[in-house]
Chains A and B, each alone.
Chain A
Amino acid sequence: MLRAGRRHELRVNGTNVIVTVDSDEPLLWVLRDHLKLTGTKFGCGEGVCGACSVLIDGEAYRSCAVTVGEVASGEEIVTIEGLGRPGELSKLQTAFIEHTAFGCGYCTPGMIVTAEAFLSRNPRPSRAEIVGAMDDNLCRCASYPKIVDAIQSVAGTNGKTES
C-alpha cells in the first residue's frame, strides 16, 4: 500500500534501515507503518501528549513533530522496542509492572522512553525532579502517582535486568 518516496537511511534501535517516503513525513508514521514499530503511539499529533516519544541521540522527542528528513543523517533513534523485550525487560519496565504504573497502558511506552532519557541525565532524582521531567507526558488514566513511584524505585540503579 505504501507509496515510494525519497530514500532515507535511518538508524533505529541499533540497526541501519532504509525507508522510501516523503521527507516531511512525521517520524511517528514511518516508525509505525514502514518499520512496523508500533509501540510508539499516536495520541494528539501535535506534540502535546507524549505518547509518541522516542529517543534521538539519547534525548526524548515527540516523533509526531519530527520529520523523517530531520533524522536521516545518522542520529541514533531508539523506540520502546529498543529498550527491552518481553523476557528481557529493563529495570524501568520491570518497575512499571511492579508498581502497576498504568491503567490502559496506551501512554506507557512514551512514559518509559521519556523517563529513560531523564534518568540517563539525572540518575538520582528527587520526586519533584521526576515530576518536573515527566510533566509534559499525559496519562488519562492518571496513573501519575504510580509512575513516579516506579521511576523513583529504579533511580540510581539504571540498567538492564538480569534475565
Chain B
Amino acid sequence: MRLTRRTFLELAGSSAVYAFTFSCSGGAGDIDETAVAVSKEARYFVDYTEWLFIHKDGSVTAHTGRIDMGQGLKTVLSNVISQGLELPPDKVESVLGDTGTCPDDGPTEGSSATRIVGWGYWRACERIRDHLVERAAEVLDVSPKQLLYRDGAVVGREDPALRLAIGELADGTVHLATIDPEAPYTSKTPYVDRRTANVKGEAIVTGTLTYVGDLFPGECSYGAFLLPKYHTQLTRARSADFEAAANVPGVEHVERIGRTALAVGDSYRAVQRGLDAMAPRWKIPKRGRILDVEAEIRGGAMLEKTIEDRGDPEARFTTSDLTLAETYTTQYASQVPIETETAVAELEGDRATVWASTQAPFKARRRVAERLEIPEENVRIISMPVGGGFGVKVDTRAPHQAAQLARASGRRVKLVFSRAHQFVGRGRYKEAVVADITSGVSAGGKLVARTVDLYQDEGFGTTGTYDIQHVRTRLYRARMPARHGTMRGTSFVQTCFAVESHTDMLAEGAGIDPVEFRKRNVAMASFRPLLDACAEMIGYGRREVPELHGIGFAICHHGGRQLGAVAAEVAVNRASGVIRVERLIGAFDIGLVINLNTLTANTQGAMIWGLGYALFEEVHLDGHTAHTRSMSDYRIPRFSDEPPIELAFFSNEVKEPQPRGCGELPVIPTVGAIANAVYDAIGLRFYTLPLTPERVLTALRSK
C-alpha cells in the first residue's frame, strides 16, 4: 500500500510530527518555520523520508524506510533518540521498513545506516529540541531565552513553575525539515552513551524475535519454485511430472509457470518432495558456460570509463627506478546469510501484503507489483528483522516469488529458500575480478606512476589510497559468466587485495619496509597513525617472529572518508598447506562512535569475513554446473578460525564529531593484510584467491 494522507493522519493522530529528509549537500538543517496542520496538507509527508512522532503520553515513535539486519540500526535509533530528546529508552520506539507506514528512504546498503540515518536523527533531535523550546515559549508566553530543554520537557531556566513536557506540545501539527547529517557539528551537547545493549537482545536470546519465517506457524502453506539445474538460469524445464508431484501427500497445488514450475503444500518438506517428484529435465543453456573465469571476463569486456587520468604514467614507467606489472584475480563468493531468503505473501483481491526479510522494502514493493501486475499502492511490504543480508537481500526474490505462489494457489504462502536454492537458484555471487596493475617507483621510494585496469561489473573499488602524480585507472565492464550481485565490501575487497599485494611487492623491490613505504606514499596523512598503531599493537619489528610466521599490512578507504589499516600475523603449515591467522589488528578512522558494543561486534565480524574471503570462501562453477550447493560445499569462518582481534578506533571528535560508517570497511584491508603476511612467512606471492591449502602446497613444492 502506498502511503496515503489517511494512513499518515491515522498514525499522526494528535501527536506533533517532525518530518524530515536527509541531504548531505549542505542543506540548511532548520526546521521549517511554517508549521503545517496535519489535517490540511496532502502529500508533503511522502517527500520527507523520516518521520518522528511525539505523542501525547510523552513517548516518541520514529518511522524510517531503512531496516535492521544485525548492524544494530534499531539500537542506534533508540540510543540516538533517547539521548537526543533526553527520554528514557522505553519511551522511544522505531518502525522500520514497512512500506505501509514508513516513507521511502532507499535501500539499507553501503554502510550508510549509522552514518546517515543514525547520525541524521541525532542532528534532527538537536533541531527539534530548539524548536520545542520556541513553541513552548509561545504557549507559555515567555521569551525562549527563559527556557531550556531538559529530560523530555521544556523548563524555565530560573522559574521552576514554567514547565511543559513534550507530550503537552503534541498538538497535531507537522513540521518539515531538511537535515544535513554532515553539516559542521557545533552543538555543546556531546554524544556520550556508547555502551547500551542491543534493544532486540532479550527477544533474540529467548528465541522470541519474530523473523519472517516465524510468522503464522501452522497457519499458512509453504511454496517454492523448481531449482534450475544450471547456475546460469538461462534454461527451461522441458518436462516435469506434475502428476507425480500432485500425488505427493501434502502437496496442494502444482503449476508450470514460465520457464519453471512451482509447488504449494502444507509443509516445507511436502513442497520439497513435490518438487523432487517433478523430476524435471532441463534444457542445456546456450550461453554462460564457465571454463576459465579470467579468460571469460577479459574476453567479453568493454571499456566502461576512465576513472582517473592524470599525467603520463607510461612515460614515467620508462624513467622509474622500479617498474612492476602484475595481474591479480579473485574468486566468486557467496553471502550465505544463515536465514535464507524468506517471505510470506497474502493476497486479497488485487491487494497484496508481503512480509519479507529484505534490505530494500520499496524495491521489493515494485517487484511484487510488477509480477502481480497490480498497482504499487496495492502492495504493502512489511519488513521483518533480517537474519543476515550481506547484500543478497538488497534485491531478494522471495517477496515477489511468494506473491506469485500466493496468487497461483489462492492461499497465504510462506516461501523459505532451501540452502541449495540460496546458493544456486539465487546466484548473485560476489563477482570474480581481474586487476592489471603496473606501477613505477622512483629512487626515493616514491610511487610516481600507476595504471590500473579493472575488469568487473560493479563499482570500481579502491582507488586514490596513494598519492601518485601520474595515474590512469580504467574500468572495463566485463560480461560476467555467472550472475553476480552485491556482497559486503562490494568491489573494494577484490581491488584492495590486488593493490595492497602489489604495494608490498613494490616496497620489497625498492628495498623499503612495507609500513614505511606506505607511510611515504599515502594520499591522506590520517593513514599514518593507523599504520603506526597496527605496527605497535602487533609488535612489528620489536619481536622475533617464529619460522613460518609472517606479519602483513594493508590499508584502504571506503565510502568517502572511512580509513582503515589492518595488520595480520599468520602461521603457515608447511606439511598441510594450511594457513592459520594468529592475530588480527585493526585501526579505523571512522569518526564518532555511536554504540561501541555494536561497532566492536560488527568490526570483529567484518575482519573475520576478510579472513574467510582470503583463505577459503569460494563458489565452484564448472561449465554450466554449480558445484556449491550446500553449506558443506562452502566453507565460512567458524569458531576455530577466530584469531585474537584487537581494535583501535580513531577519531577527532572535536574537529569532526559525526560518524562515518564502518559496516564494510574492516572486511576490505584484512584480505590484503593476510596475503601479505603469507608472503612474509614463506616468500610466496599468490595472485589468486582464496589461499587454499592446495594452492599453498602447490606453490611450496614448485618453489
Q: Tell me, yes or no, whether A binds B.
A: yes
Question: Which stretch of B25-33, B293-301, B593-601 is in the interface?
Answer: B593-601
State whether B70 touches A79 (Cβ < 8 A). no
Q: Is the CB of A103 within 8 A of B605?
A: yes
Judged by a CB distance under 8 angstroms, whether A81 is at the interface is: yes
The residue in chain A whose Cβ has the minimal distance to the Cβ of B249 is: A3
* CA gap between A40 and B338 in the complex, in Å: 13
| Chain B residues near A1 (CB-CB < 8 A) | 218-221, 266, 411
A2 to B250 alpha-carbon distance, docked (Å): 8
Interface residue? A119 (CB, 8 A): no
Interface centre among A33, A96, A107, A142 (most CB of B within 10 A): A142
Q: Mark B384-418, 1 if CB is under 8 A from A, else 0.
A: 01111110000000000000000000010000101
Smallest CB–CB gap between B396 and chain A, Å?
A: 15
Q: Which of under 10, 10 to 19, 20 to 34, or 35 or more describes the interface residues of A?
A: 35 or more
- Interface pair A51/B205, CB less than 8 Å apart: no
Given contacts A2-B218, A39-B208, contact A46 B267 (CB under 8 A): no
Contact across chains for A100 and B213 when beta carbons are under 8 A apart: no
| Inter-chain contacts of A40 with B (CB < 8 A) | 207
Contact B637 A142, beta carbon cutoff 8 Å:
yes
* CB contact list, B427-460 vs A, under 8 A: none
Given known contacts A51-B338, A89-B202, A25 and B269 CB-to-CB distance under 8 angstroms: yes
Least distance between A130 CB and chain B CB atoms (Å): 8
Interface centre among A3, A43, A106 (most CB of B within 10 A): A106
Given the known A-B contacts A38-B217, A100-B597, A142-B605, are A81 and B266 also in contact in the complex, defined by CB atoms under 8 Å?
no
Of chain A, the residue at the smallest CB distance from B268 is A29
The residue in B207, B602, B632 that gathers the most chain A C-beta atoms within 10 A of its C-beta is B207
Q: Are B604 and A145 in contact (CB under 8 A)?
A: yes
Q: Is the CB of B202 within 8 A of A134?
A: no
Q: How many angstroms from the CA of A45 to the CA of B213 in the assembled complex?
A: 14
- Most chain B CB atoms below 10 A, which of A2, A105, A130, A138: A105
For chain B, give the interface size range: 35 or more
The reply to whether A140 and B336 form a contact with Cβ atoms under 8 Å apart is yes
Distance in angstroms between the alpha carbons of A11 and B506 in the assembled complex: 66
Given that A48-B630, A102-B198, A106-B338 are contacting pairs, would A36 and B638 also be in contact in the complex, using a CB cutoff of 8 Å? no
Q: Decide if A158 is an interface residue (CB 8 Å cutoff).
A: no
Neighbour of A105 across the interface among B385, B418, B597, CB < 8 A = B385
Number of residue pairs A-B, CB distance < 8 angstroms: 207
- B218 CB to nearest chain A CB (Å): 5
CB distance from B384 to the nearest CB of A (A): 11
Contact A134 B601 (CB under 8 A): no
CA distance A101 to B642 in the complex (A): 14
Say yes or no: A138 contacts B338, CB within 8 Å.
Answer: yes
- Which residues of A, 118-140, contact B by the 8 Å Cβ criterion? 130-132, 134-140
B176-231 with Cβ < 8 A to chain A: 197-198, 200-211, 213-214, 217-221
B499 CB, min distance to chain A CBs, angstroms = 24
Residues of chain A from 86 to 124 with CB closer than 8 A to chain B in the complex? 86, 89, 93-94, 96-98, 100-109, 112
Residue of A whose beta carbon sits closest to that of B71:
A103
Which residue of chain A is the closest to B197 with respect to CB atoms? Answer: A97
Expressed in whole angstroms, the minimum distance between the Cβ of B91 and any Cβ of chain A is 19
Judge if B339 is at the interface, Cβ distance under 8 Å. Answer: yes
With A41-B339, A97-B198, A104-B388 in contact, do A131 and B640 touch (Cβ < 8 Å)?
Answer: yes
A102 CB to nearest chain B CB (Å): 6
A47-71 residues with Cβ-Cβ distance < 8 A to B are 48-49, 51
Q: Are B339 and A106 in contact (CB under 8 A)?
A: yes
CA distance A81 to B209 in the complex (A): 11
Q: Which residue of chain A has the shortest Cβ distance to B210 in the bound complex?
A: A38
Chain B 560-584 against A: per-residue CB contact (8 Å), 1 yes, 0 no? Answer: 0000000000000000000000000
A86–B205 CA distance with the chains assembled, in angstroms: 9
Contacts of B209 in A (CB 8 A): 105
Within 8 A of A (CB), among B586-633: 597-598, 600-602, 604-606, 608-609, 612, 630-632
Specify which chain A residues have a CB less than 8 angstroms from the CB of B204 in the assembled complex: 96-97, 102, 105, 108
Indicate which residue in B200, B268, B385, B419 contacts A46 across the interface (CB closer than 8 Å): B419
Instruction: Check: B507 CB closer than 8 A to any chain A CB.
Output: no
List B contacts of A136 (CB < 8 A): 638
CB B357 to nearest CB in A, in angstroms, measures: 9
Q: Are B630 and A46 in contact (CB under 8 A)?
A: yes
Q: How far is the CA of A22 from the CA of B608 in the complex (A)?
A: 41
Quick one: closest B residue to A106, CB to CB? B387
Q: Which of B350-406 contact A (CB under 8 A)?
A: 385-390
Q: Does B69 contact A (CB under 8 A)?
A: yes
B336 proximity list for chain A (CB < 8 A): 140
Alpha-carbon distance between A138 and B266 when the two chains are bound, in angstroms: 29
Known contacts A1-B219, A39-B206, A44-B419, A100 near B640 by CB under 8 Å: no
Complex CA gap A89/B204 in Å reads 11
Chain A min CB distance to B1 (Å): 26
**Cβ contact within 8 Å between B608 and A32:** no
B206 adjacent to A89 (CB under 8 Å): yes
CB distance from B593 to the nearest CB of A (A): 14
Expressed in whole angstroms, the Cα–Cα distance for A141 and B609 within the complex equals 8
Asked if B645 is an interface residue, CB under 8 A from chain A, the answer is: yes
Are B636 and A100 touching (Cβ within 8 A)?
A: no
Known: A97-B205, A103-B70. A33 touches B218 (CB 8 A): yes
Given the known interface contacts A38-B217, A41-B213, A43-B339, the answer about A79 and B608 at a Cβ–Cβ threshold of 8 Å is: no
Cβ-defined contact, B250 with A112, below 8 A:
no
Kindly list chain B residues whose C-beta atoms are within 8 Å of the C-beta of A8. none
- The reply to whether B642 and A144 contact each other, CB–CB distance below 8 Å, is yes
Task: Evaluate contact between A100 and B250: CB separation under 8 angstroms.
Answer: no
0/1 string, B636-673, CB within 8 A of A gives 1:
11111110010000000000000000000000000000
For B630, list chain A residues within 8 Å (CB).
44, 46, 48
Q: How far is the CA of A27 from the CA of B463 in the complex (A)?
A: 51
Say whether B217 contacts A33, CB under 8 Å. Answer: yes
Instruction: Flag if A143 contacts B339 (CB, 8 Å).
Output: no
The reply on B337 being an interface residue by CB < 8 A is: yes
| Chain A hits for B213, CB < 8 A | 38, 41-42
The interface residues of chain A lying within 8 Å CB-to-CB of B416 are 42
Interchain CA distance A142-B221 in the complex, whole Å:
33
Shortest CB distance B182–A (Å): 26
Are B197 and A109 in contact, CB atoms less than 8 angstroms apart?
no
CB pair B601–A108 under 8 Å, yes or no, is no
26 A-B contacts (beta carbon < 8 Å): A1-B411, A32-B214, A32-B217, A33-B218, A33-B267, A36-B218, A38-B214, A41-B387, A44-B630, A48-B632, A85-B208, A93-B202, A100-B201, A100-B600, A102-B601, A103-B72, A105-B203, A105-B205, A107-B338, A108-B204, A138-B338, A140-B336, A140-B390, A141-B70, A143-B601, A144-B637
List chain A positions with a Cβ less than 8 A from chain B.
Answer: 1-3, 22, 25-26, 29, 32-34, 36-46, 48-49, 51, 79-81, 83-86, 89, 93-94, 96-98, 100-109, 112, 130-132, 134-148
Q: A37-B207, A97-B201 are known contacts; what are 16 more A-B pairs with Cβ within 8 Å?
A: A1-B219, A1-B221, A1-B266, A22-B249, A25-B269, A33-B267, A44-B630, A46-B630, A89-B202, A96-B201, A97-B198, A103-B602, A105-B200, A105-B205, A135-B639, A141-B601
A-B CB proximity, top 8 nearest: A39-B207, A104-B70, A106-B387, A105-B204, A103-B70, A80-B207, A38-B214, A142-B608
